[in-house]
């Protein structure tokens, strides 16, 4: 056994450096007050009390009952309760209480053994207060009469040391002899023959004295009745009987049989059996048959509580003579106890970022059975995240073996199975419910990669247009999502001020009315951030599409409606039906069907003379001219869009019909008038140059202002994406109802008046001018040859132009 223990210690020292092999031994007297100091453990371990407290030292008792308490502040081992040695260990020569000191961080196990020392706190007690003996008068001197020995719960020197008779008499003395099991056998020895006729009865006191300081004693009254002759007492076939029985034996099972014979006959030879009262609780567990001496099981046996029983059996004949024998009953162990799992430390919840090898629980497994039935093995049911690690003896650590993820699994049920090696084996399961606590390791995720929302222009302020939604797989505050607008680019400082988002529910609002003609779409970036530390966030782009409303009436570009006097379209007398007279050009700032324009002749001097193209706005002759037609024609053209409700505008077009009589109606010019016309032409040229310079300067200033304003808008806080918004006029010019550039070619002769033609001023400076190429002009010239305009005998001549010169106009 010593060699095996040395091998075990050597293995523990090599494999588990945190375990102490040799236990620390202390001793304490029984019946000490609770809180009494047993020893200074911290000093014996060479550790400071603060270090022991930091390492979370605790006492682990195999039996689960804690007789001692460890003071972390002082490092002392004190009594947790009053100890009664007799209750703890009975009459065992030694009383050792073993436990382990468990130091958790880092793990260290220190075996401790405390010997409970006996004090003389019990007096000897006889089983009976009065004992009666019937002794034949012819009993020879030296005959012994066994007496039930007194019992003293104390052991060692505090146990019974001597017996005496009080008062002393001439008939009896006390003789003691230590039995095979260490018990004192007491006999009253007859010193001289009794004479029934002289003294039929005799009384005295038998005193039992222990060896304590001061000594304690117990007494019993001895009553002697002198009988007539019965000169043979029963004799057992054995002085000491030994029997074995399984702890699972049912009640009534026979353990063994004792037998005694008596040489006498008749009543004096009839033997009866009974238990000795000095055996304590044994007589409640077993029963003896008074007639045949069979010892039977009376109560259920438990090897873990009592491994053997010592019994005393009296054999008494009819004459009162008796004999005593000893019986030892050994209880054989069976595998009737499942292993126990004792948890010393358990950490739950466990953070999900705990790395592999993190200790979750420390526990011990024990089995009250002995031999192979007490050998235990532990295992985990199939588990991918935890494993068992054996530390010392039957101590195990439950540790993690892989990374945990609360979002995948918030709780782990770990089942530990402990099985002994008995036949059949018994198992015990213990369930560890490990909750995983959340850390902020998941950013919010939007349910869409991008959002598109629509709002009609001219909306009311603070209009709800939609909502964004993001979820966070974390829990608690780490999953609480708040929304905010962030700049689309790092260079931008603040998001758009015309859109807002509710931080709680992600509702998107347009804060002020929008104008489709200024802003067709807007991209904003919404950020969803959780409340973790540090906070995690994600962004999504929300595209706000402005839906056009029919809020712009058509705008007539040609003919100019604000010119005074109004310009006129010239129609020669030989013009035929279907010839182009002029064209009404209009645009609509709206888009889609709201910008589809239709033209209608609303009113005319002669309605049957002209027709207007419903889609093109071209004014054409419906029939050739006649002499009855009025020279000056006034047309009113209605321009209507396709919106709901439709909006409209009117264009007034003046048409001058040229016929053969036009020269006779023109006044003849005198030389003075021609001089005045020349001077007027000079003034007109100077004025035209001045106006052109002024227009050029204004255009440069306008472009500069636009560039500056664009820079301010790009650096300001009005709208995101404003730099991408094009001018509604430009869109109208490129996508309006004027699909082609029209070119006109006129042939003028000398002598023409200078007041018949007017140059159209540009209505909007931002319109893009489309020039006709030379090929386009030539093609138009081929289809429509120059029309010479003759008024009377004189040709119409433009100032500053040579006779026969041609003027190309758009």
Instruction: Cite the DSSP H helix spans in 645-723.
Output: 662-665, 671-715
- Read off the tokens for 790: 């003759």
483 has a pLDDT exceeding 90: yes
How do beta strands 481-486 and 359-366 pair? unpaired
- Residue 493 is predicted with a pLDDT of 59
State the pLDDT confidence band at 773, using cuts at 50, 70 and 90: very low
Least confident piece of the model among 93-102, 164-173, 556-565, 670-679: 670-679
Longest CA–CA span in the chain (Å) reads: 205
pLDDT at 208 over 50: yes
430 three-state secondary structure? strand
The CA distance from 109 to 690, in Å, is 109
Task: Give me the mean pLDDT over the 599-617 stretch.
Answer: 88
Confidence bin at 774 (pLDDT 50/70/90): very low
What is d(CA 779, CA 514) in angstroms, rounded to the nearest whole number?
46
More confident residue, 283 or 325: 325
| For residue 37, pLDDT beyond 50 | yes
pLDDT at 30: 84
Looking at residues 217-244, what average pLDDT do you find?
Answer: 88
For the stretch 1-36, pLDDT in tens is 333 333 334 333 334 445 556 888 988 888 888 888
Tell which residue, 389, 320, 404, 296, has the closest CA to residue 355: 404
Of 288, 337, 292, 293, give the one whose Cα is nearest residue 309: 288
In the chain, the domains with their CATH numbers are 24-117 (2.60.40.60), 130-227 (2.60.40.60), 235-332 (2.60.40.60), 340-437 (2.60.40.60), 445-547 (2.60.40.60), 555-658 (2.60.40.60)
Q: Is pLDDT of 509 > 80? A: yes
Residues 377-401: tens digit of each pLDDT: 898 887 788 999 887 778 899 999 9
Q: What is the pLDDT of residues 683-717, one digit of tens each?
A: 888 888 888 888 899 889 988 888 887 765 554 43
Task: Tell me if 569 sits within 8 A of 609, measured CB to CB.
Answer: no
Q: What six digits make up the tokens of 413? A: 């049920």
Q: What is the pLDDT of residue 21?
A: 63
User: Tokens standing for 565?
Assistant: 């006097």
Average pLDDT over residues 527-547: 91
Spatial separation of the C-alpha atoms in residues 208 and 176, rounded to whole Å: 11
User: What are the angstrom distances between the C-alpha of 231 and each of 132, 201, 274?
Assistant: 18, 18, 21
CA pair distance 196, 138, nearest whole angstrom: 9
Q: Is 4 helix (H, G, I), strand (E, B) or coil?
A: helix
The owner of tokens 């994600």 is 538
Share of the chain above pLDDT 90, in %: 22
Q: Give me the residues paired with residue 583 across strands.
A: 618
pLDDT in tens, 299-354: 888 888 888 888 899 999 888 889 999 999 999 888 888 888 989 889 889 898 88
So what's the pLDDT on residue 471? 92
β partners of residue 510? 463, 499
What integer pLDDT is reported at residue 15 of this predicted model? 41
Are the CB atoms for 65 and 19 separated by under 8 Å?
no
- Higher pLDDT, residue 739 or 613: 613
Query: What residues contact residue 715 under an 8 Å CB cut-off, 6+ apart?
Result: none
Arithmetic mean of pLDDT, 76-91: 83
Distance CA 259, CA 234 (A): 10
Residue 782's pLDDT band, with cuts at 50, 70 and 90, is very low
Contact indicator for 187, 174 with CB cutoff of 8 Å: yes
What is the reported pTM? 0.49
Task: Give the range with max mean pLDDT: 16-25, 150-159, 213-222.
Answer: 213-222
Provide the pairing of β-strand 68-71 with 108-117.
unpaired
Give the other-Cβ count within 10 Å of 591's Cβ.
19
Q: What is the pLDDT of residues 522-533, one digit of tens each?
A: 899 999 999 988
Mean pLDDT for 443-464 is: 92
pLDDT at 770 over 70: no
Q: How confident is the model at residue 804 (pLDDT cuts 50, 70, 90)?
A: very low
438-447 pLDDT, tens per residue?
A: 888 889 999 9
Q: Please provide the DSSP assignment of 561-618 as one string.
A: SS-SSPPEEEE-TT--TT-EEEE-EEE-SS-GGGG--EEEEEEESSTTTEEE-TTT-E
pLDDT reported for residue 368:
82
CB 808: neighbour CB atoms within 10 A? 12
Q: b/e per residue, 253-276, with b = 16+ CB within 10 A?
A: eebbbbbbebebeeebbebbbebb
pLDDT score for 595:
85
User: How much is the pLDDT for 36?
Assistant: 85
Residue 113 clears pLDDT 50, i.e. is over it = yes
Q: Please, which residues bridge with residue 632 across strands?
A: 656
Three-state secondary structure call for residue 544: strand
The CA radius of gyration of the chain, in Å to the nearest whole number, is 63
| pLDDT at residue 677 in the model | 57
Nearest residue to 40 (alpha-carbon basis) of 95, 101, 116: 101
Cis peptide leading into 349, omega within 30 of 0? yes
Element of type H or E holding 89: helix 85-89
Average pLDDT for residues 281-293, to the nearest whole number?
Answer: 84
CA nearest to 400, candidates 417, 380, 428, 373: 380
What does the alpha-carbon distance between residue 249 and residue 397 come to, in Å, rounded to a whole number? 39
Assign 787 a pLDDT band (cuts: 50, 70, 90): very low
Peptide bond between residue 106 and the one before it cis (omega within 30 degrees of 0): yes
Question: Residue 64 — left, alpha, or beta (φ > 0 → left; ψ -120 to 50 → alpha)?
Answer: left
Q: CA–CA separation, 513 vs 724, rounded Å?
A: 19
Helix (H, G, I), strand (E, B) or coil at 77: strand
Residue 780 has pLDDT above 60, yes or no: no
Residue 115's DSSP bridge partners are 27, 96
Between CA 643 and CA 599 the distance in angstroms is: 14
Q: What is the pLDDT of residue 644?
A: 86
Beta bridge partners of 359: 399
- Can you say how many angstroms the Cα of residue 245 is from the centroid of all Cα atoms in its chain? 58
**Which residue matches tokens 């009987």?**
241
Nearest CA to 535 out of 474, 469, 467 is that of: 474
Q: Among 239-248, 277-286, 655-664, which range has the highest average pLDDT?
A: 239-248
**DSSP codes of every residue in 61-75:** -TTS---EEEETTTT
3-class SS at 709? helix
Give tens-digit pLDDT for 46-76.
888 888 788 888 888 876 677 888 888 888 8
Number of Cα atoms under 13 Å in the Cβ half of residue 432: 31
Whole-angstrom distance, CA of residue 313 vs CA of residue 325 = 5
Q: What share of the chain is helix, strand, coil (3-state, %, to 5)?
A: 15, 40, 45
Mean pLDDT value across the chain: 78
Neighbours of 742 (CB within 10 A): 16
């Amino acid at each position: 056994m010593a060699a095996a223990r040395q091998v075990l210690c050597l293995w523990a020292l090599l494999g588990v450096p945190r375990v102490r092999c040799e236990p620390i031994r202390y001793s304490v007297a029984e019946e000490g007050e609770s809180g009494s100091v047993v020893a200074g453990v911290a000093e014996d371990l060479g550790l400071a009390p603060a270090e022991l407290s930091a390492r979370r030292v605790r006492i682990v008792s195999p039996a689960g009952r804690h007789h001692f308490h460890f003071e972390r502040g002082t490092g002392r081992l004190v009594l947790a309760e009053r100890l009664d040695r007799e209750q703890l260990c009975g009459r065992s020569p030694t009383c050792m209480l073993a436990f382990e000191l468990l130091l958790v961080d880092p793990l260290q196990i220190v075996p401790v053994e405390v010997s409970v020392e006996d004090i003389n706190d019990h007096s000897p007690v006889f089983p009976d207060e009065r004992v009666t003996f019937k002794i034949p008068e012819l009993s020879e001197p030296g005959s012994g009469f066994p007496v039930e020995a007194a019992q003293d719960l104390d052991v060692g020197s505090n146990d019974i040391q001597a017996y005496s008779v009080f008062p002393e008499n001439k008939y009896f003395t006390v003789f003691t002899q230590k039995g095979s099991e260490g018990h004192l056998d007491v006999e009253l020895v007859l010193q001289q023959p009794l004479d029934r006729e002289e003294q039929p009865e005799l009384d005295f006191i038998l005193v039992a004295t222990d060896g304590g300081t001061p000594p304690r004693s117990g007494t019993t009254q001895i009553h002697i009745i002198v009988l007539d002759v019965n000169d043979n007492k029963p004799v057992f076939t054995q002085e000491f009987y030994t029997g074995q029985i399984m702890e699972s034996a049912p009640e009534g099972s026979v353990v063994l049989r004792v037998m005694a014979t008596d040489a006498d006959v008749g009543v004096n030879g009839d033997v009866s059996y009974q238990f000795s009262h000095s055996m304590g609780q044994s007589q409640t567990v077993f029963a003896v048959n008074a007639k045949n001496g069979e010892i039977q099981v009376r109560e259920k046996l438990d090897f873990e509580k009592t491994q053997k029983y010592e019994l005393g059996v009296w054999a008494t004949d009819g004459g009162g003579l008796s004999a005593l024998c000893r019986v030892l009953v050994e209880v054989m162990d069976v595998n009737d106890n499942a292993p126990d799992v004792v948890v010393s430390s358990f950490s739950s919840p466990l953070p999900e970022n705990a790395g592999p090898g993190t200790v979750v629980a420390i526990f011990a497994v024990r089995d009250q059975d002995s031999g192979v039935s007490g050998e235990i093995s532990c295992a985990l049911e199939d588990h991918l995240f935890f494993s068992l690690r054996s530390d010392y003896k039957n101590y195990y650590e439950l540790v993690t073996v892989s990374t945990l993820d609360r979002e995948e699994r918030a709780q782990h049920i770990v089942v530990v199975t402990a099985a002994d090696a008995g036949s059949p084996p018994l198992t015990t399961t213990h369930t560890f419910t490990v909750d995983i606590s959340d850390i902020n390791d998941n950013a919010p995720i939007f349910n869409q990669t991008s959002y598109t929302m629509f709002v009609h222009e001219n909306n009311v302020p603070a209009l709800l247009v939609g909502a964004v939604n993001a979820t966070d797989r974390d829990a608690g505050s780490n999953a609480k999502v708040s929304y905010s607008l962030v700049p689309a680019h790092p260079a931008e400082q603040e998001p758009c001020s015309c859109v807002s988002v509710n931080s709680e529910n992600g509702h998107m609002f347009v804060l002020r009315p929008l104008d489709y003609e200024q802003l067709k779409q807007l991209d904003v970036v919404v950020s969803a951030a959780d409340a973790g530390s540090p906070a995690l966030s994600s962004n999504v782009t929300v595209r706000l599409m402005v839906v056009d409303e029919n809020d712009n009436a058509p705008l007539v570009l040609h003919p100019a409606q604000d010119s005074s006097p109004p310009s006129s379209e010239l129609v020669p007398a030989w013009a035929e039906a279907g010839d182009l007279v002029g064209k009404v050009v209009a645009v609509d700032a709206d888009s889609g069907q709201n910008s589809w324009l239709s033209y209608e002749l609303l009113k005319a001097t002669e309605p049957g003379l002209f027709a207007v193209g419903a889609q093109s706005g071209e004014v054409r002759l419906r029939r050739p001219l006649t002499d009855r037609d009025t020279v000056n024609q006034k047309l009113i053209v209605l321009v209507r869009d396709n919106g709901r409700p439709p909006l409209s505008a009117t264009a007034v077009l003046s048409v001058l019909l040229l016929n053969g009589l036009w020269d006779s109606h023109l006044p003849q010019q005198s030389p003075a008038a021609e001089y005045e016309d020349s001077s007027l032409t000079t003034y007109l040229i100077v004025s035209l140059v001045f106006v052109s310079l002024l227009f050029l300067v204004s255009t440069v200033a306008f472009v500069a202002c636009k560039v500056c304003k664009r820079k301010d808008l790009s650096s300001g806080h009005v709208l995101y994406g404003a730099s991408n918004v094009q001018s509604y006029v430009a869109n109208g010019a490129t996508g309006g109802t004027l699909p082609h550039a029209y070119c006109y070619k006129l042939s003028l002769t000398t002598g023409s008046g200078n007041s018949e033609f007017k140059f159209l001023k540009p209505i909007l400076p931002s319109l893009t001018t489309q020039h006709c190429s030379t090929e386009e002009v030539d093609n138009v010239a081929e289809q429509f040859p120059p029309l010479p305009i003759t008024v009377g005998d004189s040709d119409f001549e433009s100032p500053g132009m040579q006779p026969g010169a041609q003027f190309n106009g758009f």
